[in-house]
Chains A and B, each alone.
Chain A
């Protein structure tokens, strides 16, 4: 152990966060304000998710942290080390072995099970924020269930692009009441929000909001009768493991137009390769690197990729 209190935060802070989580569970999709603390990492690196994880951790937990599906990127590695040091918990990269999974912008491909908790890092928790900047107004809109503006936005997508072009942070309606931002997960992951066996908790540190989805909550992606929602991905198979139905990252391999598509979920991909599945460019897993992990110069990884259509430039913010 270390000189830190268990899971870093002091007990009074954890009680405050725990109360907010329980109210979030009681009102699925509603953003509960909480007194977010400064954490020993900058906003945009998962301070909200880290506080929720810290409030939920027990010494017996086995923690998995992913960043865009990858266990080995800077953000995931540093948060995993943070909790190894301050809580002394076991860690894992295997989705099936984890009891708490903190995620930045992906839901693991492997279905979650009862007893697991999925903690999302959320940059902007308010789905209406880019349509209405005033908190007083968006709060009133949630109060009155006045979500017409969101449908106008989706309609304008169709008018401009011929289809709903929102590829990530695709808005959902929870239990027929609150419109919720699922955090910037690709819309490919949206169907996994609904009816999930695991408890899903969302933490936004900079914006000081916590919200939650209890297990088996009904979550519907907003759409129109004549433009129904569909979960989209790049029309390829994984080049390493050959998976046809996993979400893919596009990796540029040279300056002559060469590229490859690989599973964004590294645990899923390496599990398949260990089981003997080999894709177009795949090799014997014993001799290959686990996964090319795309990161930008600042160390954080890139926004969701794989399908480059109509990603709203204004949504490219980090996760708080």
Chain B
């Protein structure tokens, strides 16, 4: 544990987490829209948006899976101090954090059970590029159609096919992020 692990959290948690949650809610409720957040400065390789999402949603009651480069000592220490989430394997996680490649195979994550579809994982996916063009999205939260740069489409189509089961995704890139709930139909164009 170094002094750096003790900094980078919210300075006014109630207000900052409320603002962050509203942005996350809008992102999840309107897939394809890109939102800005601020307030956290987690250690690299975590993006600001990923740090904000963890501070807002994760706590000691939510098992967290760190994948790939995100699973380093600095990040573990930062999470231990600011969030306290138990770090677990992919199959036991409520939240998972990493790049899309590091999170593979995504079929390992919990998708809920037919009677409790809410008992599923939320993936916080770090991406290099986040733009409102790419794969074509339709479904709840989208009036006609929207677009989002996704790392691939096959996995999300398979995820949608399991509805109401499935995992939900939050794509983070710097201070920006977008949501992709399991209810969204994804088409490659």
Would B57 and A18 count as touching, CB distance under 8 A? yes
B30 near A22 (CB under 8 angstroms)?
A: no
Q: Which of chain A's residues 18-75 have a Cβ closer than 8 Å to chain B?
A: 18-28, 30, 32-33, 55-59
User: Is B69 an interface position by the 8 A CB rule?
Assistant: no
Is the beta-carbon distance between B18 and A21 smaller than 8 angstroms? no
CB distance from A5 to the nearest CB of B (A): 6
Instruction: Write out the residue numbers on chain A whose beta carbons fall within 8 Å of the beta carbon of B18.
Output: 6-7, 14, 56-59
Q: Is B44 an interface residue (CB 8 A)?
A: no
Tell me if B140 and A175 are in contact (CB < 8 A): yes
In the complex, the chain A residue whose C-beta lies closest to that of B55 is A15
- Cβ–Cβ < 8 Å partners of B28 in chain A: 22, 25-26, 214
In angstroms, Cα B28 to Cα A117, docked, is 14
A16 part of interface (Cβ distance < 8 Å): yes
Q: Residues of B contacting A22 with CB < 8 Å?
A: 24-25, 28, 57, 122, 168
- The digit string for B9-29, where 1 denotes a CB below 8 A from any CB of A, is 000011101110110111011
| Least Cβ–Cβ distance between B121 and chain A, in angstroms | 11
- The answer to whether A177 touches B164, judged by C-beta atoms less than 8 angstroms apart, is yes
Minimum Cβ distance to chain A for residue B20 (Å): 9
A5, A21, A28, A115: the one within 8 Å of B140 (CB): A28
Contact A18 B114 (CB under 8 A): no
Q: A27-B117, A30-B118 in contact; A15/B57 too (CB < 8 A)?
A: yes
A102-117 CB mask vs B (1 if < 8 Å, else 0) is 0000000000000101
Interface extent on B, as a size class? Answer: 35 or more
A6 touches B30 (CB 8 A): no
Q: How many A residues touch B, CB cutoff 8 Å?
A: 45
Which of B62, B116, B117, B141 touches A216 (beta carbons < 8 Å)?
A: B141
Interface residues, chain A, with chain B CB atoms under 8 Å away? 5-7, 11-12, 14-16, 18-28, 30, 32-33, 55-59, 115, 117, 139-140, 142-143, 175, 177-178, 195, 199, 212-218
Among all A-B residue pairs, the 4 with the closest Cβ atoms: A6-B14, A214-B141, A26-B181, A23-B118
Q: Given A26-B28, A33-B118, A56-B25, does the pair A214, B56 have CB atoms closer than 8 Å?
A: no
Q: How far is the CB of B116 from chain A (nearest CB, A)?
A: 8
Counting chain B CB atoms within 10 Å of each CB, which of A11, A18, A22, A56 scores highest? A22
B163 beta carbon closer than 8 Å to chain A: yes
A290 to chain B, nearest CB (A): 31
A20 / chain B contacts, CB cutoff of 8 Å: 118
Among A19, A59, A117, A140, max chain B CB count under 10 A is at: A19
* Contacts A56-B25, A199-B26 known; 7 new A-B pairs at CB < 8 A: A25-B181, A58-B22, A59-B18, A142-B115, A175-B139, A195-B143, A199-B25
Minimum C-beta distance from B143 to chain A (A): 5
Q: Which of B62, B140, B143, B168 has most chain A Cβ within 10 Å?
A: B140
Distance of A19 Cα from B22 Cα, bound (Å): 12
Whether the Cβ atoms of B21 and A6 lie closer than 8 Å is no
Q: B residues within 8 A CB of A175?
A: 139-140, 183
Known: A11-B13, A11-B14, A19-B62. A27 touches B57 (CB 8 A): no
Q: Which residues of B contact A59 (CB under 8 A)?
A: 15, 18
Report whether B61 and A216 are in contact in the complex, using a CB–CB cutoff of 8 Å.
Answer: no
22 contacts between A and B (CB under 8 A): A11-B14, A14-B17, A15-B59, A16-B61, A18-B21, A19-B94, A23-B120, A25-B181, A27-B117, A27-B182, A28-B183, A30-B117, A30-B164, A58-B18, A115-B26, A117-B25, A175-B139, A177-B163, A178-B164, A214-B141, A215-B141, A217-B140
Cβ-based interface call for B132 (8 A): no
Nearest CB in chain A to that of B114: its residue: A143
Closest to A199 in B: B29
Question: CB of B142 within 8 A of chain A?
Answer: yes
**A117 neighbours in B (Cβ, 8 Å):** 25
Q: Are A27 and B15 in contact (CB under 8 A)?
A: no
* Pairwise interchain contact A215-B30, C-beta atoms closer than 8 A: yes
B139-151 vs A, Cβ < 8 Å mask (1 yes, 0 no): 1111100000000
Q: Could you tell me if B29 and A18 are in contact, using CB atoms closer than 8 angstroms?
A: no
Query: What residues on B are CB-neighbors of A55 within 8 Å?
Result: 21
